[in-house]
């Protein structure tokens, strides 16, 4: 303690260490974009993970109705308990039964999943301790931890193995100061979905090393056909798991700021201290709006499964789910296409997407699959861009898209050495804004340079337009050598 004494010098007010060390890379890039888009082309933002941006995806009527009814309730205006209203927590417990044995006592409501993450990080880690974060990964962890002096250590994901965890690297990162392992599944930005075996491998490491897991499952159930979502908590035998989720993505209401923590602790390892610690932290700002809390039971109960299915299908395939005749269309298209020389349609497994092999040598008009797909797309075919087709479409010299299995993003590698004009991913995406008015998040937002992330929740025609511009941009900037190779190859 310093001595009492007047401060009569000049004014000198500094920002705290916490404030100076809090950086939200996505927000600062998105909210402070200085590059002007090309005025001749309408701006297309494939940047923020906000499925509501374009107006094509809307929360179901049941969700809106639940809030309409909540407004009229006298009890939707007063303070709630710091952890949230009992009925709302019970509803979350029931909704989350797939995660394991969950009761209202295990649930803490938060102001968005970000706030849930803030609480779980800050209950487990002290200044000087570290948390292990996947790279590439959503960087809210860095934003929230570094200001508090909590160290971020990265473990690798393997782009060539559908972004699975590099298990050796993960285990090597653990040290005596490791307070938690973060597992983001399904992943932002990778769109990967881990199967049970892989989740068990991660749990084994956590168990052997006695490190609790923070499971960021805000994209729970967002999985494309052929994949299955498993909550890591449901597989854990001993490892305490703090799961963070919320309404944000699945119910298409990111702005409502309704998230939650679920405490999974079968062997009572966290004990009273961590539970009380979370309860203490919840009293700082008193959780989410009670207007939404009161609507929560109805939201979770009455939203029909068909709504979720349609949204995921849209993301996987493209935005045609309003046409209920689609499955038939797909079948019809399949049969039509069977007759088309040079094409080999593969009947969709799930409901609505279709892979088509293009026997390119049969189409002398087109030099390559890109030209083919471009023409096909411009003629408004029933085949749509996102998912597998998008993946193919963008597989151009200089770019390497990696097919997602869930969530709502796709990562695209930028082979930056092929673009001599650009030093890094940031320069690449900035120039893309100024020339093509298309804005993707640079990989550095995920601590993963020379990638970019696009969102898949965009309406089909806009996404197509954006991808076409993206391909033009690459063609214009790729170095001569690669251009020649491309021509040679065809």
Ligand X SMILES: Cc1ncc(COP(=O)(O)O)c(C=O)c1O
Query: What would the two tokens of residue 375 be?
Result: 């023409």
Task: Determine which residue in the list 38, 122, 195, 427 makes contact with a copy of itself, applying CB under 8 A.
Answer: 122
CB–CB of 244/216 below 8 Å? Answer: yes
CB of 223 to a copy of itself, least distance (A): 23
Task: Determine which residue in the list 34, 39, 74, 339 makes contact with a copy of itself, applying CB under 8 A.
Answer: 74
Nearer to ligand X, 188 or 468 (CB): 188
Nearest-5° Cα angle at 411, 409 to 412: 135
The one of ligand X, a copy of itself, none whose footprint includes residue 184, by CB under 5 to 8 A per kind, is ligand X
CB of 147 to ligand X, least distance (A): 17
The one of ligand X, a copy of itself, none whose footprint includes residue 188, by CB under 5 to 8 A per kind, is ligand X
Residue with tokens 């809090």: 22
CB–CB of 190/401 below 8 Å? Answer: no
Residues forming beta bridges with residue 298, ordered by sequence position: none
Residues forming beta bridges with residue 345, ordered by sequence position: 356
CA separation, residue 52 to residues 40, 216, 254, 457 (Å): 25, 21, 8, 8
> Alpha-carbon distance 231 to 409, whole Å?
20
The one of ligand X, a copy of itself, none whose footprint includes residue 64, by CB under 5 to 8 A per kind, is a copy of itself
Residues forming beta bridges with residue 157, ordered by sequence position: 165
Does 33 contact a copy of itself by CB under 8 A?
Answer: no
Does 1 contact a copy of itself by CB under 8 A?
Answer: yes
Site for a copy of itself in 206-225 (CB under 8 A): 208-212
Nearer to a copy of itself, 212 or 404 (CB): 212
> Alpha-carbon distance 389 to 405, whole Å?
13
Residue 415: CB atoms within 10 Å: 15
Q: How far from chain centre, in Å, is Cα 470?
A: 21
The one of ligand X, a copy of itself, none whose footprint includes residue 177, by CB under 5 to 8 A per kind, is a copy of itself
The one of a copy of itself, ligand X, none whose footprint includes residue 280, by CB under 5 to 8 A per kind, is a copy of itself
State the Cα torsion 393-139-178-232 to the nearest 10°: -60
CB of 114 to a copy of itself, least distance (A): 5
Does 112 contact a copy of itself by CB under 8 A?
Answer: yes
> Alpha-carbon distance 252 to 125, whole Å?
31
> Alpha-carbon distance 230 to 198, whole Å?
10
Task: Determine which residue in the list 44, 132, 144, 202 makes contact with a copy of itself, applying CB under 8 A.
Answer: 144
The candidate with the shortest Cα–Cα distance to 178, out of 227, 221, 214, 228, is 214
- Point out which residues bind ligand X (CB under 6 A): 49, 112-114, 138, 140, 184, 188, 216, 218, 246, 248, 254, 259
CB of 363 to a copy of itself, least distance (A): 42
Q: Single out the segment in contact with a copy of itself by CB under 8 A; choices: 110-118, 192-200, 357-365, 454-462.
A: 110-118
Residues binding a copy of itself: number (CB under 8 A): 105
CB of 146 to a copy of itself, least distance (A): 11
CB of 189 to ligand X, least distance (A): 8
CB of 205 to ligand X, least distance (A): 21
Task: Determine which residue in the list 6, 197, 341, 364 makes contact with a copy of itself, applying CB under 8 A.
Answer: 6
Q: Say whether 204 sits in a helix, a strand or coil.
A: helix
Residue 36, phi then psi, degrees to nearest 5 = -85, 130
Q: Binding marks (x or -) toward a copy of itself, 243..262, rule CB under 8 A?
A: ---------xxxxxxx----
Residue 430: CB atoms within 10 Å: 18
Task: Determine which residue in the list 162, 173, 227, 405 makes contact with a copy of itself, applying CB under 8 A.
Answer: 173
> Alpha-carbon distance 80 to 287, whole Å?
8
The one of a copy of itself, ligand X, none whose footprint includes residue 379, by CB under 5 to 8 A per kind, is none
Does 362 contact a copy of itself by CB under 8 A?
Answer: no
CA separation, residue 38 to residues 179, 238, 426, 436, 440 (Å): 47, 55, 17, 6, 15
CB of 159 to ligand X, least distance (A): 18
- Residue 228: Cβ-neighbour burial (10 angstroms; 0-12, 13-18, 19+): exposed
Site for a copy of itself in 262-301 (CB under 8 A): 267, 269-271, 273-274, 276-278, 280-281, 283-293
């Amino acid at each position: 303690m310093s001595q009492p004494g007047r401060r009569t010098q000049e004014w000198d007010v500094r920002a705290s260490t916490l404030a100076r060390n809090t950086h939200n890379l996505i927000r600062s890039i998105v909210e402070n974009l200085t590059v002007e888009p090309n005025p001749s082309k309408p701006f297309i933002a494939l940047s923020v993970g906000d499925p509501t941006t374009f107006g094509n995806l809307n929360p179901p009527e049941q969700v809106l109705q639940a809030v309409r009814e909540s407004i009229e309730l006298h009890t939707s205006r007063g303070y709630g308990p710091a952890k949230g209203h009992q009925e709302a927590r019970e509803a979350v417990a029931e909704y989350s039964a797939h995660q394991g044995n969950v009761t209202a006592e295990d649930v803490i409501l938060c102001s968005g999943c970000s706030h849930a993450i803030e609480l779980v990080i800050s209950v487990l880690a002290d200044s000087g301790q570290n948390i292990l974060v996947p790279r590439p990964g959503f960087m809210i962890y860095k934003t929230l931890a570094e200001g508090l002096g909590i160290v971020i250590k990265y473990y690798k994901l393997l782009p060539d193995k559908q972004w699975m965890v590099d298990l050796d690297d993960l285990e090597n990162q653990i040290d005596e100061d490791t307070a938690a392992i973060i597992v983001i599944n399904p992943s932002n930005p990778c769109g990967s979905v881990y199967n049970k075996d892989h989740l068990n491998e991660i749990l084994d490491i956590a168990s052997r090393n006695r490190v609790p897991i923070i499971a960021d499952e805000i994209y729970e159930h967002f999985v494309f056909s052929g994949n299955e979502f498993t909550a890591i908590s449901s597989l854990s035998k001993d490892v305490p798991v703090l799961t963070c989720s919320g309404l944000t993505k699945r119910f298409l209401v990111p702005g409502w700021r309704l998230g939650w923590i679920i405490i999974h602790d079968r062997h009572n390892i966290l004990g009273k201290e961590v539970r009380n610690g979370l309860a203490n932290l919840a009293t700082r700002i008193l959780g989410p709006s009670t207007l939404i809390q009161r609507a929560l039971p109805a939201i979770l109960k009455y939203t029909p499964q068909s709504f979720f299915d349609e949204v995921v299908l849209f993301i996987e395939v493209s935005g045609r789910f309003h046409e209920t005749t689609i499955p038939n269309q797909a079948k019809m298209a399949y049969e039509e296409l069977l007759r088309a020389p040079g094409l080999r349609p593969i009947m969709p497994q799930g409901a609505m997407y279709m892979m088509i092999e293009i026997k390119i040598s049969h189409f002398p008009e087109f030099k390559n699959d890109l030209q083919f797909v471009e023409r096909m797309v411009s003629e408004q075919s029933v085949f749509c861009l996102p998912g597998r087709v998008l993946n193919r479409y963008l597989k151009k010299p200089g770019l390497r898209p990696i097919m997602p299995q869930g969530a709502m993003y796709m990562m695209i590698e930028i082979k930056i050495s092929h673009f001599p004009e650009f030093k890094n991913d940031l320069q690449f995406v900035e120039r893309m804004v100024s020339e093509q008015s298309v804005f993707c998040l640079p990989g550095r937002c995920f601590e993963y340079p020379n990638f970019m992330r696009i969102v898949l929740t965009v309406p089909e025609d806009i996404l197509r337009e954006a991808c076409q511009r993206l391909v033009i941009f690459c063609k214009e900037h790729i170095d001569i050598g690669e251009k020649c190779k491309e021509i040679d190859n065809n």
